[in-house]
Amino acid sequence: MSIILDARTATDHFPGIGRYVVNLSQALTEIAPDLGLTLLYDPSAAATRLILPDLPRIACSISPFSIQQQWSVPGILRRARARLYHSPYYLMPYLPGVPSLVTFYDLIPLFYPEYFTATQRLMYRLAHILALRTARVILTISQATKSDLVRAFHVDPQRVHVTPLAADATFAPRSAAQIAAARSKYALPEQYVLYLGINKPHKNLPRLVEAWRLSNINFQVSNIKLVIAGQWDERYPEARRLATELGLDQIVFAGPVEETDLPALYSGATLFVFPSLYEGFGLPVLEAMACGAPVICSNTSSLPEVAGDAALTVNPRDATGIANAITRVLDDAGLRDGLCAKSLARAAQFSWARTACATMQVYREIAR
């Protein structure tokens, strides 16, 4: 079919989108080796941790942020005689010259505008309008994102197809020895409650800190620590500052974690808590479930859709409710065991092969 999948975002600058591109292209190769898939890639990103599959490639060192892509990428597509162009990012060529589709993940700047400048919001909206006008078909990673897109931009729902994500195959329960090694590496106690993700405002970490304080009041957790791990953006120090003000020395700000250590950290967690205000999908929830961790997550945006009935869901704006859920799980071994079993069963319902099959159907629909 001569399909060009734009893989220029498979870099460390786009960790989430990059993983989507890598996993999708790998799964498409496995389920449909005769699909005719070619990757548009940036050779200057060779040092990235994301490894693209062995597929035909076309080099393009022009960034998605550069206006130059508006004429350079269509030229590449024309010379490659592409029948279809798939952009995994809304900053794309808006006159590609071939039928195209685009993937959307979330609409955070529109639903939480207070976290962005007026210029950022204007450029974000304009780029989305252009991408939506360009694409023949639109993919979203959740039904929640589809609903948001339809509501915010009045898109015809028939143009939008939902192709959910999945956890990487590396996310699976780890042995006691692997868990102990990871705990030792990051100086973690035997029992810990884990949050994994960046500290941007919509992740709601100050409220998690407050909930942990209330949990300590409700339940004696002196031998359990709250571990907040992931990339730390110094622009948002509120959670760390609040923990210091409240004197909560039972909170560990672990910082960035190596990808290879994530499965063991998830597997060793007594509980995984994810109180985000808004997620396009919420992949950490699914990763934790794939490793057999009991999960508490928010009851907003896409998270109930991902977690199903396998997690306890809470109002992310209610610190007392989050604290009560944490206390309940820590205090009830039977409940924890039940949630662990549900986590594994729920995670098994998602796979990149299913994502690839749904995506391939859209490719063929456009080609017809």
pLDDT of 160-174, one tens digit each? 999 999 999 999 999
48 and 141 co-located in one domain: yes
Question: How far is it between the farthest Cα atoms of the chain?
Answer: 67
Tell me, what's the pLDDT at 26? 96
Whether 360 is covered by a domain: the verdict is: yes
- Is residue 199 a part of any domain in this protein? yes
Share of the chain above pLDDT 90, in %: 86
Which tens digits make up the pLDDT trace of 23-33? 999 999 999 99
Both tokens assigned to 184 = 């030792």
228 is written with which tokens? 């907040």
Say if 314 falls within a structural domain.
Answer: yes
Considering the domain boundaries, does residue 204 fall inside one? Answer: yes
Alpha helices in 32-107 (DSSP H): 69-79
- 235 plus 300 within the same structural domain: yes
Is 66 within the bounds of a domain? Answer: yes
Is the same domain home to 97 and 237? Answer: no
Residues 243, 317, single domain; the answer is yes
Q: Is the pTM of this model over 0.95?
A: no
Domain CATH code at residue 138: 3.40.50.2000
pLDDT in tens, 281-290: 999 999 999 9
User: Do 28 and 86 reside in the same domain of the chain?
Assistant: yes
Let me know if residue 170 belongs to a domain: no
Confidence at 216, pLDDT banded by 50, 70, 90: confident
Residue found by looking up tokens 């870099």 in the block: 11
Q: What is d(CA 249, CA 232) in angstroms, rounded to the nearest whole number? A: 19
Distance in angstroms (rounded) separating the CA atoms of residues 152 and 196 = 29
Domain span at residue 343 reads 176-347
Same structural domain, 226 and 270: yes
pLDDT digits (tens, 9 = 90+) for 217-242: 766 656 799 999 998 999 999 999 99
**4, 84 contact by CB (below 8 A):** yes
Say yes or no: 180 and 80 in one domain.
Answer: no
Question: Residue 1: is its pLDDT beyond 90?
Answer: no
Q: How confident is the model at residue 51 (pLDDT cuts 50, 70, 90)?
A: confident
Q: What is the pLDDT of residues 72-117, one digit of tens each?
A: 999 999 999 999 999 999 999 999 999 999 999 999 999 889 888 9
Region 253-269: what's the mean pLDDT? Answer: 94
**So what's the pLDDT on residue 12?**
78
- Poorest-confidence range of 49-58, 149-158, 332-341? 49-58
| Confidence check: pLDDT of 249 > 90 | no
Number of independent structural domains in the chain: 2
The verdict on 204 and 322 lying in the same domain is yes
Q: Which residues have C-beta within 8 Å of that of residue 127, sequence separation ≥ 6?
A: 90, 91
- b/e map 178-207, b = 16+ CB within 10 Å: bbeebbeebebeeebbbbbbebbbbbbbbb
Q: For the beta carbon of residue 154, count every other beta carbon within 10 angstroms.
A: 8
What 3-state DSSP class applies to 170? coil
Q: In the prediction, which pLDDT does 16 show?
A: 86
Q: Give the span between the Cα atoms of 328 and 174, in whole angstroms.
A: 25
DSSP-derived letter for residue 305 is H
Asked if the model's pLDDT at residue 145 lies above 70, the reply is yes
Kindly state the helix (H) or strand (E) to which residue 113 belongs, with its residue range: none
Pair (145, 57) in one structural domain: yes
Q: Same domain for 157 and 9? A: yes
Q: Which of 14, 305, 338, 19 is nearest to 167 (CA)?
A: 19
122 shares its domain with 254:
no
Regarding whether 262 and 161 lie in a shared domain, the answer is no
In a domain, 362, yes or no: yes
Residue 217's φ and ψ, nearest 5 degrees, are -75, -40
Cα dihedral 66, 68, 70, 72 in deg (nearest 10): -130
Q: Kindly state whether residue 171 falls inside one of the protein's structural domains.
A: no
Helix (H) or strand (E) holding 227, with range, is strand 224-229
- pLDDT in the model for residue 222: 61
What pLDDT is attached to residue 25? 96
Backbone angles phi, psi at 24, to 5 degrees: -65, -45
